[in-house]
Structure 1
Amino acid sequence: MYKRFIYQCLGVAFLTLVLSACAVPVKLVEKNANKYTPERFNNSAQDSTNTAKIKWKDYFQDPNLANLIETALKNNQELNITLKEIEIAQNEISARKGEYLPFVRLGGGAGADKVSRYTSQGAADEMSEIKPGKKTPPVLPEAYFGATASWEVDIWHKLRNARKVAIANYLATIEGRNFQVTNLVAEIANSYYELLALDNQLETIRKNIEILNSALGIIKQEKEAAKVTELAVRRFEAEVFKTQSLQYEIQQKITETENRINFLVGRFPQKVERSSQQFNELIPAGIQAGIPSQLLQNRPDIRQAELKLEAAKLDISVARANFYPSLGLSAFVGISAFNPLLLANIPQALVTSLAGDLAGPLINKKAIIATYKNASAKQIQAVYVYERTVLNAYIEVTNQLANIGNLEKNYAMKSNQVDALTKSTNISLRLFTSARADYMEVLLTQRDVLESRMELIETRMKQLNAVVNTYRALGGGWN
């Protein structure tokens, strides 16, 4: 009869908990992630051949650049920091896994209790004897040693889903590192090409100084022959000084660019090995953009956003499970006695216990409701982040493809301009010596030639940077 009453009480308690758990807030409407991208980039052909599949070691043929990238992947501090974040995320998986496995502790202790004689236990001790002829003393010592086990039964897969969240975050951290690698490779390549361009601009300035000095000598001769005034000599000298000052600006930019590369490589300032002589012969590599849907697999930032979205979905399942009752089991196996010398007397000193508890939220569930709403809001937020990342990737590729085409045409026009101005320099000098042109025409022509050559070098650098940026935008460089 007594057992039946206990069972009935447990049944009522379980039913109450289940009914209270059913009052879970309505799940917020989720916005489906828009994973569909346009069929092609602008007017490009729909071809699945993709440059992003090429490994960076095969893509960058310059051995000096390849050495810089390889060193950076080993020594770059940001990458090393991220590696530790990956290690932390991996440890989090182990911690989450341990939460749904049984906990077992081994230990012992000793103490003493004095029980009131006016209690049921005290009255029983008054009437009992420890051994024949010896009553139970008022203060009774106790020593014990044994193993305690506790386990929360993961009925609603709350703990398992929490482990899946940790796994998704771990994989997202790896993709975050891959995205860092992609950006690092692109940044080093762009800085390297900028350094080559600066070297060539410096060489162009030095050659132009020689030409200006030669023209200055002609102007001085013309002045001695009274064909020009002192004004012409001074204007040409000023132009020489101006061009000479320009070379120091370029030298400062070279120093800063070298040190930026050294920082990315993870080393103190030193000379960056490079081959600047072949800069004008560098031809930007061809780009095969593939199809936009390949960005979903090739871009690490998109893969990271997708994993974060998956983790956010699982977080909702974990938050919903907090509304349901949890079942816990506990057990103890050991030995206990009032005298430590009696602990070895088995089975008399053997102690065992087994208990279970079922508990769930009933009143004042504001905290878990707020946790659930936050998880729902973060999931929708993750959807927007994913969509924004996909859109940004598509626009980046589109912009860079257009940039490559426009820079190619720009370089052709700049090259024609340099050729025309170079020819006009010789013509202006001949006309000046034959008194058929003013010295200002010679001066302005020399200035225009220098500017156009500097712009031509800069345009070539922009072409190389556009190819690198397109390679990065397509998701290349991390594999």
Structure 2
Amino acid sequence: MHKLKIYRCFAALGISLAIAGCKIPKAVQQTENRNVPPAYTDNRDTTNMAAIPWRSFFTDPNLVNLLDTALKNNQEMMITYQELQMARNDIRVREGQLRPTVGVRAGAGVEKVGRYTSQGAGDASTDIEPGKEVPEALTDYSIGAYANWEADIWKKLHNAKKAAVARYLSTVEGRNFVLTNLIAEVSGSYYELLAYDNQLEIVRQNIKLQKNALELVKIQKQAARVTELAVQKFQAEVLKSESMEFDILQNIKETENNINFLLGRYPQEIPRDKSNFLSLTPPMVHAGIPSQLLAARPDIKKAELELAAAKLDVKVARAEFYPSFGISAGLGFQAFKPSYLFKLPESLLYSLAGDIAAPLVNRAGIKAEFNNANARQLQAMYNYERTILNAYMEVSTQLSKIDNLEKSYDLKSKQVDALTKSIDISNDLFKSARADYFEVLMTQRDALESKLELIETKKDQLNAVTQVYRDLGGGWK
């Protein structure tokens, strides 16, 4: 009879395995495309500025201090630190699932069974000690330890832990990506603030020139050499420049507030050197080769790790089709009186059991989750490929922008020099009645616009180099 039970157990096990093993769907096997062009341009120099630490890349001490403060106080950075903690805790959760669950249990209860039952009839004739029957209302006291453990024969739990580790590492790269963007954003706003400072100075200088020209026109009117129309035109030009001054002041305030927000503090003045903005020289650009992006850019590494985690999720979901094997055990003491609780061997209890379970009815639900895991894997693969493509495009665009801005800045510098000289010439001609007031106005206006544009171009140059430094993967080391 005992052998027959064993045979039945093996038969049930074989049937369960056979059912679980039939029609297991296969995971989607598709390799991600990691290919990139060999170079951005004809130059294939492998020197990459992304390897430069940000403290060496930025030489302005005021900017370095701002970046230090931002990295300590920025709320978005603090949020990413908490995401790191959560991802690390998820690894601990997965590690715990690999180990047996061990606990201690103590309990007390009371039970009264009916006399006209098999248990009640049997209790009436049972003696624990001579002359002492089991009480009619039977109490029950127990204390013991128990353990449960799932044997990870299909590597389901191990793969789940590996996926958690991959997601933790992707969170680390996500933090690095936030760090690079923060550095680029603070430095970009800082250069924008310097540009506004210099534009404000140019506008104020221009207002003085325009007011001098206005006084000259008033004198010319008194001498009947010009009309009231010329006076009003010059007056309007002065008012326009004064209005522009307040627009720039508002831009300065907004930019300062934006920097303070990135630094995680309330509004205060931003320390900076307002002089010699046009003499600032952007660092030399060394872009290296596109394949270096795969190792340098945090967002690419993040997408790659998320893809690795998604592939492991597919293995975990596929393992759900197979039977699970669990072991449970218990050891302790049990008695109906506290005084009997620790009497050996009568009060000793122990148990050891193993079970195997295979899905039958809910296979459709498991298959749906498996299909979702496959779809998420494909999503992660396409996101990885798109991230690589986007990284290449960003670098290529910035390199082209840097080259064109350099040429544009040279031409605008010559334009500013020419128009600055033309202001004195137009004034002299106007004084000798060889040019009308309209020519003087247009010359002053063109000179002002060209100077403002030159400052804007210088700001774009500095920001373009900062952006390509970020796009190449620099700033987080």
TM bracket, shorter-chain basis: over 0.9
Deviations 1:420-463 (CA, angstroms, capped at 9, x unpaired):
11111111111111111111111110010000000000000000
1:334–1:350 contact (8 Å) kept in structure 2: yes
Q: How far apart, CA to CA, are the structure 2 residues paired with 1:382 and 1:362?
A: 31
- SS of match in other structure, 1:226: coil
1:268-417 → structure 2 map (5 Å cutoff) = 268-417=266-415
Deviations 1:243-281 (CA, angstroms, capped at 9, x unpaired):
111100000000000000000000001100111102111
1:399-438 → structure 2 map (5 Å cutoff) = 399-438=397-436
Q: Which amino acid aligns with 2:319?
A: A
Q: Which amino acid aligns with 2:186?
A: I
- SS of match in other structure, 1:380: helix
Residue in 2 aligned with 1:130? 128
Q: Which moved more, 1:13-22 or 1:115-124?
A: 115-124
Residue in 1 aligned with 2:225? 227
1:35–1:387 contact (8 Å) kept in structure 2: yes
Deviations 1:340-363 (CA, angstroms, capped at 9, x unpaired):
011232233211111111111123
Residue in 2 aligned with 1:41? 40
1:55–1:477 contact (8 Å) kept in structure 2: yes
1:459 aligns with 2:427: no
TM-aligned CA distance change 1:24 to 1:376, over 3 Å = farther
Pairwise CA distance, 1:227? 1.4
1:323–1:361 contact (8 Å) kept in structure 2: yes
Number of residue-to-residue matches in the alignment: 477
Q: How far apart, CA to CA, are the structure 2 residues paired with 1:287 and 1:406?
A: 14
Q: How far apart, CA to CA, are the structure 2 residues paired with 1:137 and 1:449?
A: 110
Q: Which amino acid aligns with 2:251?
A: K
Q: Which moved more, 1:188-197 or 1:352-361?
A: 352-361
- SS of match in other structure, 1:328: strand
Across the aligned residues of Structure 1 and Structure 2, the Cα RMSD in angstroms comes to: 1.3
Q: How far apart, CA to CA, are the structure 2 residues paired with 1:293 and 1:5?
A: 66
Deviations 1:285-338 (CA, angstroms, capped at 9, x unpaired):
111001101101110000000000000000011101111111111111111112
Q: Which moved more, 1:310-319 or 1:427-436?
A: 427-436
1:24–1:323 contact (8 Å) kept in structure 2: no
Residue in 2 aligned with 1:474? 472
Q: Which amino acid aligns with 1:349?
A: S
TM-aligned CA distance change 1:146 to 1:29, over 3 Å = closer
Q: How far apart, CA to CA, are the structure 1 residues paired with 2:343 and 2:446?
A: 106
2:324–2:357 contact (8 Å) kept in structure 1: yes
Q: How far apart, CA to CA, are the structure 2 residues paired with 1:118 and 1:156?
A: 50
- SS of match in other structure, 1:332: strand
Q: Which moved more, 1:157-166 or 1:20-29?
A: 20-29
Q: Which runs of 5+ in 2 are unaligned?
A: none
Q: Which amino acid aligns with 1:176?
A: G
Equivalent position to 2:49, from 37, 48, 51: 51
Q: Which amino acid aligns with 1:344?
A: F
- SS of match in other structure, 2:103: strand
Q: Which amino acid aligns with 1:353?
A: S
Q: How far apart, CA to CA, are the structure 2 residues paired with 1:97 and 1:77?
A: 31
Q: How far apart, CA to CA, are the structure 2 residues paired with 1:365 and 1:16?
A: 16
Residue in 2 aligned with 1:91? 89
1:24–1:320 contact (8 Å) kept in structure 2: no
Deviations 1:5-36 (CA, angstroms, capped at 9, x unpaired):
11111111111111122134432433311111
Q: Which moved more, 1:176-185 or 1:228-237?
A: 228-237
Residue in 2 aligned with 1:159? 157
Residue in 1 aligned with 2:18? 19
1:21–1:360 contact (8 Å) kept in structure 2: yes
Q: How far apart, CA to CA, are the structure 1 residues paired with 2:25 and 2:148?
A: 33
Residue in 1 aligned with 2:58? 60
Q: How far apart, CA to CA, are the structure 1 residues paired with 2:108 and 2:5?
A: 34
Residue in 2 aligned with 1:3? 2
- SS of match in other structure, 1:110: strand
Identity %: 54
TM-aligned CA distance change 1:259 to 1:24, over 3 Å = farther
2:77–2:175 contact (8 Å) kept in structure 1: yes
Residue in 2 aligned with 1:74? 72
Q: How far apart, CA to CA, are the structure 1 residues paired with 2:28 and 2:308?
A: 16
Residue in 2 aligned with 1:261? 259
Pairwise CA distance, 1:123? 4.5
Pairwise CA distance, 1:126? 3.6
- SS of match in other structure, 2:278: helix
TM-aligned CA distance change 1:351 to 1:26, over 3 Å = closer
Pairwise CA distance, 1:174? 0.9
Residue in 1 aligned with 2:180? 182
Q: How far apart, CA to CA, are the structure 2 residues paired with 1:428 and 1:46?
A: 51
1:30–1:380 contact (8 Å) kept in structure 2: no
| TM-score, structure 1 normalization | 0.97
TM-aligned CA distance change 1:182 to 1:24, over 3 Å = farther
Q: How far apart, CA to CA, are the structure 1 residues paired with 2:363 and 2:132?
A: 56
Q: Which amino acid aligns with 1:111?
A: G
Pairwise CA distance, 1:87? 0.5
| TM-score, structure 2 normalization | 0.97
2:24–2:321 contact (8 Å) kept in structure 1: no
TM-aligned CA distance change 1:24 to 1:85, over 3 Å = farther
Pairwise CA distance, 1:61? 0.2
Pairwise CA distance, 1:160? 1.4
Residue in 1 aligned with 2:141? 143
TM-aligned CA distance change 1:72 to 1:238, over 3 Å = same
Q: Which runs of 5+ in 1 are unaligned?
A: none
- SS of match in other structure, 1:112: strand
2:27–2:314 contact (8 Å) kept in structure 1: no
